[in-house]
Amino acid sequence: MAQTFQTYIFLDLESTGLAHDCPRITEICLVAVHLHSLQNPERDEAGDLLLPHVVDKVCLCVDPVIPLTSKAAHMTGLSNEKLSLNQKQSFSPELLGLLRDFLERQDQPICLVAHNGFSYDFPLLKTELQRVQGDFSGPLSCLDSCKVLRTIDPIPNSVRIWKGYYTLPEVYRRFFGKEPQRSHCAEGDVLTLLMIFLHKAQDFLRWVNIMSLSWAKIVPMYTP
């Protein structure tokens, strides 16, 4: 029987590199939005979509312990030196506890949403949770927004297929006709994803039960 998720938690991670680099998290952001706000989006006087006012948010920088690749440092603007000078802590059991408390505060059931989440964010997060010998408790589902967009926003025959068609900045430009405010930082990417979801909320909500997976089915990116 299909369930109605009451809270959607939009998630983005920044890290030290790509999947083949066995990366570590450098930044994590979660923004929890209730179903009511997704079904009843706020708009300004011109009728343009606004970000929901009532949200819960956790954004943290994390000391990855290992060096960032040069590409990751260039894209995110983060560096090991910056994180160290600002006394950021590594991923720890205390951080796991904070994330668990954040999830437990939300109206249940919950669905995590991340762009390319099935291939990157969810497996990497599960690896970091395993590293501290923990995991999220209770039922939890997750959705890859990129996979949904490939269904609800297929590439037109007139458009040459190219790798960047479903990147967050490109989808945002296509839907809103302008650049996202911030890219390649966890909070900026989460808010960009949330606006994209709001723009196609009816379609996303229609497909979520078909395309979401149980968190228990997510396989870690690598063995820590």
pLDDT at residue 184 above 90?
no
Residue 10: name the closest of 151, 158, 175, 201 by CA: 201
- Number of Cβ within 10 Å of residue 97's Cβ equals 12
Which of the pair, 13 or 153, is modelled with greater confidence?
13
> Going by C-beta distance under 8 Å and a sequence separation of 6 or more, which residues neighbour residue 122?
112, 114, 142, 144, 215, 218
User: Which pLDDT belongs to residue 181?
Assistant: 86
- The answer to the question of residue 222 being in a domain is no
User: Residue 44 has which token pair?
Assistant: 């300004």
Candidates 20, 53, 184, 199; catalytic one:
184
Here the tokens at position 87 are: 């006394």
pLDDT tens readout for residues 75-134: 999 999 999 999 999 999 999 999 999 999 999 999 999 999 999 999 999 999 999 999
Domain for residue 64, yes or no? yes
How far apart are the C-alpha atoms of 50 and 28, rounded to whole Å? 23
Query: CATH no. for residue 30?
Result: 3.30.420.10
Q: Do the domain assignments include residue 223?
A: no
The pLDDT-based confidence of 2 (bands split at 50, 70, 90) is low
Share of the chain above pLDDT 90, in %: 89
The answer to whether residue 159 scores a pLDDT higher than 80 is no
pLDDT of residue 38: 98
Nearest Cα to Cα of residue 112 among 1, 222, 221, 13: 13
> Is residue 91 a contact partner of residue 25, using CB atoms and an 8 Å limit?
yes
Q: Among residues 65, 78, 81, 76, which one has the least CA distance to residue 24?
A: 65
Which residue's entry shows tokens 């964010």?
Answer: 121
224 part of a folded domain? no
Q: Give the model's confidence band at 186: pLDDT under 50 very low, under 70 low, under 90 confident, else very high.
A: very high
Cα-flanking dihedrals φ and ψ of residue 174, to 5°? -65, -40
- Coil, strand, or helix at residue 90? strand
Q: What is the residue-wise DSSP string for 134-148?
A: ----S--EEEEHHHH
Instruction: State how far the Cα of 114 lies from the Cα of 155, in Å rounded to an integer.
Output: 21
**Cα gap 165→159, rounded to integer Å:** 10
Asked if residue 153 belongs to a domain, the reply is yes
Per-residue pLDDT tens over the stretch 89-101:
999 999 999 999 9
Asked if residue 199 is part of any domain, the answer here is yes
Model pTM score:
0.95
Residue type for 4, please? T
Place of tokens 């949904």: 148
Q: Which of 73-82, 155-164, 195-204 is predicted least confidently?
A: 155-164
Element (DSSP H or E) covering residue 8: strand 7-15
Mean residue pLDDT across the chain: 95
**pLDDT band for position 155 (cuts 50, 70, 90):** confident
Give the single-character DSSP code of 119: I
- Domain membership flag for residue 156: yes
Query: Which structural domain, as residue segments, surrounds residue 13?
Result: 7-217
Please say if 184 is a catalytic residue. Answer: yes
Give the number of domains in the chain. Answer: 1
Q: Does residue 2 lie in a domain region?
A: no
